[in-house]
Each structure stands twice: as structure tokens, then as C-alpha cells.
Amino acid sequence: MKPGTGRRGTRTALFTRRNARRLSAVCSVLGTLVIASAGLAPGAAAADDVQSKQWYLDAMGADEIWEHSTGKGVKVAVVDTGVNPNTPSLKGQVLVDEVPKTAKYHVTQDYDGHGTSMAEIIAGTGAGGGIKGLAPQAKIIPIRVGLDQLKDQDERAKSLTSAKAIRAAADSDAKIINMSFGSEYYESEEEDAVKYAASKGKLLFASVGNDGARGNKRSYPAGNPYAVGVAAIDKTGTVGKFSTYGNDADLAAPGLDIPGWCDNTFTKYCSTEGTSPAAAIASASAALIWSAHPDWTANQVLRSLIDTAVRKWPKDEPSKYLGYGVVRPRRVLIDKDINPGPANRDPLAAENGADPDEDITAAVSPSTAPSGTPSKPAEKADPASGPTAAAAKDADSGSDTQTWVIIGAVAAVLVIGGAGFAVLRARRNA
């Protein structure tokens, strides 16, 4: 397939097909912060109780994962609303001094609470009863974006555009860039920034968006080539009704009933849902793998996640709801003979409109697409949607179905860690 074509389409197609940069959490990053209270009564949990709400750690087999890797030695850039380095769970975890000088400003104070939540989901130590990160020994480099909900003009002047923030993250020592935000507006500068980061060997995860139940508009930066779009599932493995679906969903991860800070006072946690935490869990999964295999490249880490992802459908027919499947880092870590494939070949080359035989670090070129409209607030996922499944039309039967599948055993459930985890079969061509 020639460069400029593929699942993500040409740059013109990017503008028309992915015109949604929705915040990937019920906590909207670009619009007014709203927390869904499903799962935690009366909508918040004391810090000493929050870890009991982290159902996904058991589902993913975290205790066994941590016997093999804790993310040590891997840095994750969190491009978000800032990160509070002083929460009990993040003390010693946030490398404020490593924000690159190219960022121009080193202001990292979290004006929302969202970025701190993502950082804790990735690398929280769990100290003080706070959120325990899936990769608790990874480190966080905070890159603050001046999103539209930041009304203070002085603070906005100290923050970065998404394009500049992604470039700053690319210039840091982070191996992974987490982008749990989105907007419906395409920007060529942002696409160029994502490509720049990919050319420097970074692995970028972006929330795919929360518009699945309301128009299913495309979201950026998830809509850009070389951004790995992450969809959200609940504790049964069912894709969230709100989770934006289509060609941009590359992988899936837990994203419903996930604890996060209620606001920027950092006094209590709330139950959240959306593709924001799903992207953070995917980033943490990559950090675990890269820590265990420090000589691997971004291509190899991503390929290992794709190859081991939970799915029933054929690998070459990715689901439009769950992409190549649900991330399962445990399977990578316990396989001592796993083959990560070639170091310099992009496993999503076709989707990214790239030559599969070309090295991305040498092949990425800037976009020539016209600039989009400046970003504006995005909407939150609909709390009323809750942990529901999106109905999928089965391509084989021609009927609307929800097919529960079994992976790795003739049993009633799918197992991604040690716990039961059913996954909705929903083919992308449905």
C-alpha cells in the first residue's frame, strides 16, 4: 500500500473522517470536567478505599504481572491538564525537572485533576491508599496542555498547544506518550507533531473518543497516523456504549468504573468512565513490556501487544469496536520465547498509510494538509450510557448481535489475566 493511504486514509480523509477530538474520559479534558458516579456511592470514595475499586488490576492479573515487571526504567509523558506530583500515590514518581526546554514553559500544575488521575493510573505507587498504577515503578514526565476549559488567561499563556505539547514530549526521555484528550478538529500541526514523535521512536497512545452513542464523530489526536487509538471496555469485557468506534480503534482496555480524582482539590476520588483511562492503561501496559525488554523498539512493543491481545476474530479483520483486541501485557511478560518481530517495521503500517517495508524513523514526513479550525470544548461521554455494550452487526450472519467469545480455553469466559473477562465480538467491517 502506498504512503498516504490505508485504514486511516489520506490526509484529506483524515480531515473528513476523523473530525472529533473528544475527550476520552467522562472527565472531559477539553470541555467542562464531569465525573460519572456509577459504581461508587455516593459518587466518591475515600482514598483508603480506592484500590478496592480498581477491578481491572485483578482482571489483568496484576499480581502476576508485577512478578515479571513493574515498569522500572521507563518514562511516560502524560500530555494532559498537568500532574500534581504531591499526591501520596505520585510522590517521587513525577519528573517535573525533565520537562524539555523546548516546552518553553515548565508549568505543570494540574488545573483540572484529570492529568493527575491518568498519571496515577499509569504509575501510582498506591501509597496512602491512593490509586495503584499498573506500572508502579514507571516514571511520569508531565506536559501541560492549555485546553479550553482553562479560563485563566495567565495560566493559558504558560501552557502549550497540543502540537507543541506532543513535540515537547517527543523531545523528552519518555518512551511512551499518553494522550487522554481529544477534539473534533483536525490540525495539521498536531498531525506533524505526532509523526515527529513517532520518528523519534516514541510509542503514542490516544483515547479514541467518547462519541460512540452520539454521532460517533472522529477524535484527534487518535485520528492521526501513528497514534494508537484505544477503546474502552467494562469489567465484563463489553465495549462501552460511549466508546467511539470505527477505523481508529486499534486496541481496547478497561475504561468504565475506573477511580480518578474528582477535581483539582485532590480531596476525593470519583468513579469515571471513558476512553481516557483506557489509553492510560494501554500506556502502562506498554511500559511494563518495555521495562522487561529494554532493547525492544516501539514497533516491537506495539506488535507484542497486538499479537497477544484478546480477540476471537481473525487478526487481519480487526473489530471496529475493539480493534485488534484487549491489551494483555501479562501474556507478553510470561512468554520467554515471544517473538516481537522486526525492530524497524510498523505493525500498523497499513493503517497509517505507510510502506510496511520502510523504517518509520526515516520515513515520516510532515503533513501538507490544510490547518483545521482551532480547538473548542469537547463534550463528555454520556453518564447515562453506563457500562453497556454497543450492538454490533455480525458480518457473517447479517444480523445485529452481541457475540460473547472464548479465548484460550473451552470455557464460558475469556481470561486476560486470572479473572473472567468476556469480550464482545464486533468486526470492523460490520
Dihedral sign, CA of 372, 243, 406, 303? positive
- 276 has catalytic annotation: yes
136 SS3 class: coil
Of the candidates 24, 28, 69, 80, the residue annotated as catalytic is 80
Q: Give the CA distances from residue 22 to residues 207, 215, 325, in Å, rounded to whole numbers and listed in that order.
A: 9, 12, 22
In angstroms, the CA 165 to CA 144 distance is 7
In angstroms, the CA 117 to CA 258 distance is 10
179 SS3 class: strand
415 SS3 class: strand
Q: Give the CA distances from residue 35 to residues 123, 262, 263, 273, 373, in Å, rounded to whole numbers and listed in that order.
A: 21, 7, 9, 8, 28
Of the candidates 89, 112, 114, 211, the residue annotated as catalytic is 114
CB atoms within 10 A of CB 399: 7
Of the candidates 69, 271, 276, 319, the residue annotated as catalytic is 276
Residue 98: name the closest of 164, 200, 169 by CA.
169
- 114 has catalytic annotation: yes
Cell triple for residue 96? 517535573
- 293 has catalytic annotation: no
Q: In Å, how far from its chain's centre is CA 31?
A: 18
Lookup result for grid cell 502502562: 284
In angstroms, the CA 50 to CA 75 distance is 25
Cell triple for residue 271? 468513579
In angstroms, the CA 147 to CA 367 distance is 23
- Catalytic (active-site) positions: 80, 114, 276
